[in-house]
């Protein structure tokens, strides 16, 4: 069975067309302008292709794994075919399992719930909170921020080598969690080298590919990682779905992430009045309830679109956009770009910076209100990393800030610009011009703090 597949939409000054590319927004200074969405690292706009594919399927929607009717069977086929498509996109091993989740955060919390008893977790302080926080029930070693890729590897090697030896004379289970590309600096991490270090010390590794998968190919086989997690809403498929893919043994041995229909193979009453439950040992074990078939299908559609366009083309064009932004920011002495590994480090289209004399919330608000440019300001759900990069000294305050911050840290925030396959050249050119004008001439409007956000004063 198959659902009609929408043809790829024509590109407009970008490799892939996205929804919202023609949306106009008002400016406080008067008039309207086409919105420049430069916050891809938070949520990338949906590909037009994804939207069209989902719309083509919508009339055929039916229950998944539940019904004998034609539409139910078609939807079930669609859901399981989506699983295979994503497995191919990630180049999974033959015996890997791919579980559809709600997000990267959900995927890593699922893995955390599946850790074997006594598992030690090693995670750098530079991680997004989705990777930093799920390991509450494990013994966690937080590793200091490295300043070079090589230092990241040696830091991990030292930490793993220092694990205590058990009474039996060996080490217990261990897991390393690491990002593929920083959501703050965009810098690529040495995943292959970290994986080799983890495996050499008997540990497993999970790759947070939320910021990597939309920009670069991710091969589970080539990288040799044990698991990979990512979110659909960063992969041009914003429908509340995510993926955890990798080795099946820990997942099969763990209690279901959620208990309910779909996760159970057989449920029966015992003579004492209790229940006996036989759980699935497939991916269904951790997919209880009616699955998000549209979310899974949208991820699969995005994977197909990126594959068909070709990452060589996508990476080459993104590197051009990165060069334009970095060159433009380098021309403004008041701008400091945040980096762990230095200017020459390879990176994806995610760049964070601060501007001397400006609170970052104020600067981001002016970009939006006066230029129609959407960026992100704050600590980007990576508080330890951003605080490390900014230091602890409060910076000069702008016209408004974030009153809910701790005393002395009101100005500890940054600005992040991020882009991808749907970004026209004009958007990054407008951004560079806006930064230059705001620093040189100041804001043309007054701003105030409202609900913790900097907004135009009326």
**Mind telling me the catalytic residues?**
381
Count H helices and E strands in the chain, helices first.
Answer: 13, 19
Tokens representing residue 273 in the block: 């009045």
C-alpha distances (whole Å) from 178 to each of 216, 321, 334, 410, 421 are: 16, 26, 32, 29, 24
Residues 6+ away with beta carbon under 8 Å from 187? 181, 339, 340, 341, 345, 346, 347
Closest C-alpha among 11, 102, 161 to residue 299 = 102
Which two tokens mark 188? 């690529």
Bridge partner residues of 101 (DSSP) = 242
Closest Cα partner for 84 from 313, 243, 267, 280? 243
Rounded to whole angstroms, how far apart are CA atoms 206 and 204? Answer: 7
Residue whose token pair is 């659902």: 3
Q: Give residue for tokens 């990069």.
A: 389
Over its C-alpha atoms, the chain yields an Rg (Å, rounded) of: 23
Helix or strand run (H / E) with residue 171? none
Which two three-digit tokens encode residue 325?
Answer: 């932004």
Backbone angles phi, psi at 328, to 5 degrees: -65, -45
Place of tokens 């009474």: 167
> How many angstroms separate the Cα of 241 from the Cα of each of 154, 171, 185, 255, 282?
35, 36, 25, 21, 19
Bridge partner list, 395: none
Backbone angles phi, psi at 206, to 5 degrees: -115, 135
SS3 at position 123: strand
What does the alpha-carbon distance between residue 440 and residue 431 come to, in Å, rounded to a whole number? 14
- DSSP sequence for 25-71: EE-TTSSEEE-EE-BTTT-PPPBHHHHHHHHHHGGG---SSS--SHH
Answer left, alpha or beta for residue 243, where phi above 0 means left and psi between -120 and 50 means alpha: beta
């Amino acid at each position: 069975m198959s659902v009609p597949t929408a043809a790829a939409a024509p590109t407009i000054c970008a490799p892939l067309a996205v929804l919202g590319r023609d949306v106009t927004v008002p400016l406080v200074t008067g008039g309207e302008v086409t919105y420049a969405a430069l916050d891809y690292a938070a949520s990338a706009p949906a590909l037009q292709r994804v939207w069209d594919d989902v719309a083509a399927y919508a009339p055929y929607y039916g229950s998944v794994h539940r019904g004998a009717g034609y539409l139910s069977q078609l939807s079930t086929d669609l859901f399981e075919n989506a699983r295979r498509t994503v497995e191919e996109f990630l180049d999974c091993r033959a015996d890997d399992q791919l579980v559809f989740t709600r997000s990267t955060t959900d995927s890593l919390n699922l893995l955390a719930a599946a850790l074997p008893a006594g598992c030690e977790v090693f995670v750098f302080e530079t991680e997004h909170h989705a990777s930093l926080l799920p390991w509450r029930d494990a013994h966690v070693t937080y590793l200091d921020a490295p300043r070079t890729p090589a230092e990241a590897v040696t830091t991990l090697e030292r930490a793993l080598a220092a694990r205590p030896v058990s009474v039996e004379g060996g080490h217990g289970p261990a897991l390393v969690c690491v990002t593929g590309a920083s959501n703050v600096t965009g810098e690529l991490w040495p995943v292959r080298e970290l994986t080799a270090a983890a495996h050499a010390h008997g540990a497993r590794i999970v790759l947070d590919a939320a910021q990597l998968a939309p920009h670069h190919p991710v091969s589970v086989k080539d990288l040799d990682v044990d698991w990979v997690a990512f979110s659909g809403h960063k992969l041009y498929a914003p429908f509340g779905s995510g993926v955890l893919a990798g080795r099946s043994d820990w997942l099969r041995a763990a209690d279901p992430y959620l208990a309910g229909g779909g996760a159970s193979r057989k449920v029966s009453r015992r003579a004492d009045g209790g229940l006996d439950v036989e759980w699935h040992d497939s991916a269904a074990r951790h997919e209880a309830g009616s699955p998000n078939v549209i979310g899974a299908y949208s991820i699969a559609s995005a994977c197909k679109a990126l594959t068909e366009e070709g990452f060589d083309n996508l990476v080459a064009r993104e590197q051009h956009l990165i060069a334009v932004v970095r060159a433009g920011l380098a021309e403004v002495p008041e701008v400091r770009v945040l980096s762990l590994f230095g200017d020459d480090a390879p990176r994806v289209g995610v760049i964070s910076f601060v501007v001397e004399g400006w609170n970052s919330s104020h600067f981001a608000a002016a970009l939006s209100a006066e230029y129609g440019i959407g960026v992100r300001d704050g600590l980007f759900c990576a508080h330890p990393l951003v605080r490390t990069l900014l230091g602890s000294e409060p910076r000069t305050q702008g016209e408004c800030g974030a009153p809910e911050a701790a005393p002395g840290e009101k100005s500890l925030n940054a600005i992040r610009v991020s882009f991808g396959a749907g970004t026209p050249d004009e958007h990054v050119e407008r951004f560079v011009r806006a930064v230059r004008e705001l620093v040189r001439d100041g804001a043309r409007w007054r701003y105030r703090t409202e609900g913790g956000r900097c907004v135009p004063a009326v």
